[in-house]
Homo-oligomer: A and B are copies of this chain.
Amino acid sequence: MNKIEIIAVGNEIVYGYTLNTNSTWMSAELEKSGIEVCYHTAIRDRQDDINQALNIACSRANIIILCGGLGPTKDDFTKEEVSNYFGLELCYHQQTVDDIKNFFAKRNKIMGESNLKQAYFPKGSTIIPNHNGTAPGCYFEQNNILVALFPGPPRELHPMFQHFIKQCIYDRLEVKCLTEEIRLYGIGESEAANKIDDLLGIFNQVEIAPYIQDGYVTIRLKGYGKTKEEIKTNINTHKSNIIERLQPFVIGEDSRNISELIFDKIKLKGYKISTAESCTGGMLAARIVDNNGASEIFSEGLITYSNEAKTKLIGVKAETLDQFGAVSIEVAKEMAIGVKNTTNSEIGISTTGIAGPTGATADKPVGLVFIGIAINDTSYAYKLNLIGSRQEIRKLSVDHALHLLYKLL
C-alpha cells in the first residue's frame, strides 16, 4: 500500500506568516482520486532541514511530494538539495529555458540571469511544465520512491498537480478509497456522536467519524476497497443507518457547501434573493455571489450599516429603531421584509448584531446577532448568541443565516 508524504518548504509557513493551503489542497485533490495522504510536514528554507525531512520521509513513505523553493532567488534550493540527497546530478533542459524566455516575452520582459537555474532538473526527471510561472515541476523515481517537486504559488501548482495525478499517481494504487459526507445543522458534535456512538469507528472497510466544519457537524464515511462499486455498497449501508438516526438535523448528503445548496434551491423555484446586512457588512452577499451564475438568483444587496441607511434604503421604521435598537429581532425582520420589497425579490435576508470587540451594552453582549428572513408573505427572525472574535462572529452569522434559510426553503 502506498504511503504519501507532503513536504512544504518555506519559512513563511513554519513561522506562521502564511497558511499552508497547498498541503491541504493537494491532499484534497488526491482524496478525490481515492488516494489517501499519511503525513504533512512543513520545514524552513534550510538545507539541513530539507535533508532531515527527506530522511524521515524516505523511512515511512514511498511517494514524497515537495512543494516550494523552486523560485529563482537565493533562498530557493529545494531542487538542489533533493538532487543531492538522492545522488542525482542536475541536468540542463533547453525546452524550459525557451519556455521561461517566452513567459517573459509575452509580458514584455526579459528573462533574468537568476531564472537560468530553474532550467536544471535531477537526472532522469520527467518535467511538469508551468504555464503560469517560471518554475516547472518534475518527478523521478529512485530506490522505489517516487519524488515530485512543485512550486509554491497555488495558481502555478494547481494545474501542474492535477496533471501529475492523472499522468503518474493514479495507476500506482492498489487500494482505492471514496469519501461521502452527511452534513448536519442544529446539533453539536458530541450530541451527534452520542446518537451514533456504536457506528463510529471502522466497520466493513468503512471509517466513520464526525468533524466540525465551518461551524456545523459533518459525519464522514470513508470506504476502502478494490472497486468503486464495492466501496459504494459498503458506504451506503452505513449511510442510510446514520441518516435515519439523525434525520431532523441532516441538511445535505454530498460535499456541496451551503451556498451551493441554496443557489440550487432558489434557482429551482425561480426566485430572487436580496440581502440587507449590518454586522456582516457584505459577507452574506459575497457568499451568494460565490456561485458561478449568481445573477440568476441575485440582483442587488444592501449594506445598511448605519441606522440612517436602514431607514433610507429599506424602510426600517425610525420608531422600531428607537424602541428596540438596531440589534433586535424587530429590526432584523423589518430589514428582511424591507429589502425583499424594495428590490422586488421573493426572498429577503438580513443580519444585525454586535460583532465586537466594542459596541456591547448591558443587555446586548458581543455575539448577539439576529437573522431576519422574509419569503413571499411570511417572515421569520432568529436570535443567535455567538462566541469568538469579531471576524469569527461575522462568519458564523453568515453560516447560520444560510443554514436557517436552507431549512425554510
A220 within 8 A of B: yes
Residues of B within 8 A of A23 (CB): 16, 20, 42
Nearest CB on B from A209, distance (A): 6
Residues of B within 8 A of A112 (CB): 190, 194
A17 touches B220 (CB 8 A): yes
CB contact list, A1-38 vs B, under 8 A: 8, 11-21, 23-31, 36-38
Task: Tell me the dominant secondary structure on chain A's binding face.
Answer: mixed
A149 within 8 A of B: no
Nearest CB on B from A170, distance (A): 16
A167 within 8 A of B: no
A94 within 8 A of B: no
A16 touches B29 (CB 8 A): yes
Residues of B within 8 A of A197 (CB): 74, 114
Nearest opposing residue in chain B for A356, CB measure: B292
CB contact list, A275-291 vs B, under 8 A: 275, 277, 279-286, 288-290
Interface size class of A (residues with CB under 8 A): 35 or more
Nearest opposing residue in chain B for A201, CB measure: B74
A97 within 8 A of B: no
A240 within 8 A of B: no
Partner of A282, one of B42, B44, B193, B282: B282
A209 touches B75 (CB 8 A): yes
Expressed in whole angstroms, the Cα–Cα distance for A67 and B304 within the complex equals 40
A253 within 8 A of B: no
A145 within 8 A of B: no
B40 touches A13 (CB 8 A): yes
A270 within 8 A of B: no
B17 touches A211 (CB 8 A): yes
A308 within 8 A of B: yes
- Supposing A282-B283, A284-B282, A294-B281 touch, asked if A31 and B16 sit within 8 A by C-beta, the answer is yes
Partner of A390, one of B132, B201, B292: B292
Nearest CB on B from A33, distance (A): 12
- Supposing A15-B27, A309-B300 touch, asked if A42 and B43 sit within 8 A by C-beta, the answer is no
CB contact list, A138-157 vs B, under 8 A: 153-155
A190 touches B282 (CB 8 A): no
Partner of A16, one of B25, B282, B300: B25
B16 touches A28 (CB 8 A): yes
Nearest CB on B from A346, distance (A): 15
A21 touches B18 (CB 8 A): no
A-B contact pairs, 20 of them (CB 8 A): A12-B213, A15-B31, A16-B24, A16-B31, A18-B24, A19-B20, A39-B49, A40-B40, A73-B200, A74-B197, A114-B190, A153-B212, A277-B282, A281-B298, A282-B286, A286-B394, A289-B305, A290-B391, A292-B357, A299-B308
Given contact pairs A18-B24, A18-B213, A292-B357, a sample of 16 additional A-B residue pairs in the complex whose CB atoms are under 8 Å apart? A11-B207, A13-B40, A15-B179, A16-B26, A17-B213, A19-B19, A74-B197, A155-B388, A277-B282, A281-B288, A282-B301, A292-B358, A292-B390, A298-B305, A300-B306, A302-B303
